[in-house]
């Protein structure tokens, strides 16, 4: 993959280190995550250095990992919010000023890369598009398949206030009392049975 | 923190590397995440080596990062599912056989560690419990504040089949057609306005 020799940094890393970081965290170099890395890179450049950012992703697939690998925002620290909208878009914004940038995969621009278009729109069987082929096209395309807009946050930016903790009268485990008079598992939502 | 000199491995790491991995990913050594690391460590030992595991966490706070740091499961690769139940519990299971272990913070056992009990149940102001004090107690307690059960999965183990992708007639961005006749943002759920 000759493009790996390029000196261009992505999220502050060489292409090789950028792809290695994706593989190490995600288990493989998923095409969607590599595109997501370019989206984070663009957002970071638009926002500029020294800004404390929070993040929103509009899909559960791949994009949460792009944010978690290349920014300080994670699901567990609450700086990343995940919308299950199945849109390939993310937003990085100043957590104090609530202004930032929303970046998305632009389908019209993607049309110039037939393999990527066919992969994303699922128009051809997966096996006809080997990973190396997709990665070559993604690395060649870089930001050319992305669009962005400057935004002001109108929601999702709130930090959650934790509510009172109690003991579930049924299972005796701790839970948050806002969930009801017993925990969600004991309300019938358990996803497991004891062996 | 003299307990850092212990030779006991946690998630295959020295205590120092274990805490450093938490700080690097999560931004700080959050007490809940350190406990979460001990939970993952116990689950991994119970399941044994060589098993391909998926994971469920029963809280959005801290626990997702414990799974993401110390196992191959991430939100973005779909091997980690997050329940917003506010219960301090996680489950690791064999993704083929659907058997595994559920680990939880046992409030009765926590009672032997008054600082940890008061912190978790939020009975005293945060500032009266400095981080170093909590971490010392958590490292001293280790697994002594955890309980577990062997489980068989009855839900949440399904891998999602992706559905057809289309173009939103309103914003022209790609979305999954199962979301409706236009994307969720154009259905009125947008969390941003354009500047």
ipTM value, please give it.
Answer: 0.93
pLDDT of residue A15: 95
Binding-face residues of B in 58-77 toward A, CB within 8 A? 58, 60-66, 68, 72, 74-77
* Confidence bin at A163 (pLDDT 50/70/90): confident
- Is the minimum CB–CB distance between B40 and chain A shorter than 8 Å? no
Give the whole-angstrom CA distance, residue A75 versus residue B124: 26
Please report the beta strands in A95-160, taking only residues with DSSP state E, as ranges in sequence order. 99-105, 146-153
- Is residue A165 scored above 80 in pLDDT? yes
Assign domain A2-152 to its CATH architecture: 2-Layer Sandwich (3.30)
CATH 3.30.60.80 fits A161-195, yes or no: yes
The answer to whether A173 contacts B87, with C-beta atoms less than 8 Å apart, is: yes
Binding-face residues of A in 6-35 toward B, CB within 8 A? 25-27, 30, 33
Q: Which pair of tokens denotes residue A118?
A: 């066919």
- Tell me if A26 sits within 8 A of A52, measured CB to CB: no
* Confidence bin at A133 (pLDDT 50/70/90): very high
Q: B142-169: b or e for each residue (b if 16 or more CB lie within 10 Å)? A: beebbbbeebebeeebeeeeeeebbbbe
pLDDT of residue A3: 41
**What is this structure's pTM?**
0.94
* Confidence bin at B162 (pLDDT 50/70/90): confident
Nearest to A174 among B120, B172, B190 (CB): B120
pLDDT of residue B110: 97
- Is the minimum CB–CB distance between B118 and chain A shorter than 8 Å? no
Nearest to A25 among B74, B106, B151 (CB): B74
Phi, psi of B56 (to 5 degrees): -130, 135
Nearest to A152 among B164, B179, B192 (CB): B192
**Residue A132 exposure: Cα atoms within 13 Å on the Cβ side:** 3
CATH assignment of B163-195, given 3.30.300.90, 3.30.60.80, 3.30.565.10, 3.30.1330.10?
Answer: 3.30.60.80
Give kind and range of the element (H or E) at residue B101.
Answer: strand B99-105
Nearest CA in chain A to B172: A107
Nearest CA-CA distance, residue B66 and chain A, Å:
8
Q: Where are the domains of chain A?
A: 2-152, 161-195
Q: Tens digits of per-residue pLDDT, A179-190?
A: 999 999 999 999
* Confidence bin at A1 (pLDDT 50/70/90): very low
Q: Tens digits of per-residue pLDDT, B44-93?
A: 999 999 999 999 999 999 999 999 999 999 999 999 999 999 999 999 99
Nearest to A66 by CA among A37, A102, A44, A31: A37
Nearest to B26 among A64, A76, A162 (CB): A76
- Is residue A152 scored above 70 in pLDDT? yes
- Is residue B3 scored above 80 in pLDDT? no
Give the whole-angstrom CA distance, residue A107 versus residue A147: 10
Q: Which pair of tokens denotes residue A12?
A: 């502050």
B2-152 and B163-195 agree in CATH topology: no
From chain A, the residues in CB contact with B162 under 8 A are: 122
Please report the beta strands in B23-79, taking only residues with DSSP state E, as ranges in sequence order. 53-57
For chain B, give the mean pLDDT: 94
Nearest CA-CA distance, residue B143 and chain A, Å:
16
- Is residue B163 scored above 90 in pLDDT? no
Residue-wise DSSP of A23-81: HHHHSS--HHHHHHHHHHHHHHHHH-TT--EEEEES-SSSHHHHHHHHSS--TTTTSEE
From chain A, the residues in CB contact with B99 under 8 A are: 195
DSSP code at position B3: G
Give the whole-angstrom CA distance, residue A87 versus residue B75: 16
Burial (CB < 10 A; 0-12, 13-18, 19+), residue B94, is: middle
Cα dihedral A189→B26→B75→B126 (10° resolution): 20
- Is residue A139 scored above 90 in pLDDT? yes
Coil, helix or strand for B88?
A: coil
Give the whole-angstrom CA distance, residue A11 versus residue A39: 9
């Amino acid at each position: 993959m000759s493009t790996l020799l390029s000196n261009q940094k992505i999220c502050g890393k060489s292409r090789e280190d950028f792809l290695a970081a994706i593989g190490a965290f995600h288990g493989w170099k998923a095409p969607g995550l590599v595109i997501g890395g370019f989206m984070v890179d663009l957002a970071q450049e638009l926002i500029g250095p020294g800004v404390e950012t929070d993040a929103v992703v509009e899909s559960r697939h791949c994009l949460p990992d792009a944010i978690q690998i290349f920014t300080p925002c994670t699901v567990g620290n609450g700086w990343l919010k995940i919308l299950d909208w199945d849109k390939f878009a993310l937003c990085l914004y100043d957590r104090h000023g609530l202004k930032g940038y929303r970046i998305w995969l632009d389908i019209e621009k993607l049309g110039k890369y037939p393999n990527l278009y066919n992969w994303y729109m699922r128009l051809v069987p997966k096996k006809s598009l080997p990973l190396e082929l997709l990665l070559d096209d993604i690395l060649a395309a870089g930001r050319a398949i992305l669009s962005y807009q400057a935004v002001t946050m109108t929601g999702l930016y709130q930090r959650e206030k934790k509510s009172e903790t109690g003991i579930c009268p049924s299972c005796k485990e701790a839970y948050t009392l806002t969930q009801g008079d017993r925990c969600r598992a004991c309300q019938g939502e358990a996803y497991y049975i004891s062996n």
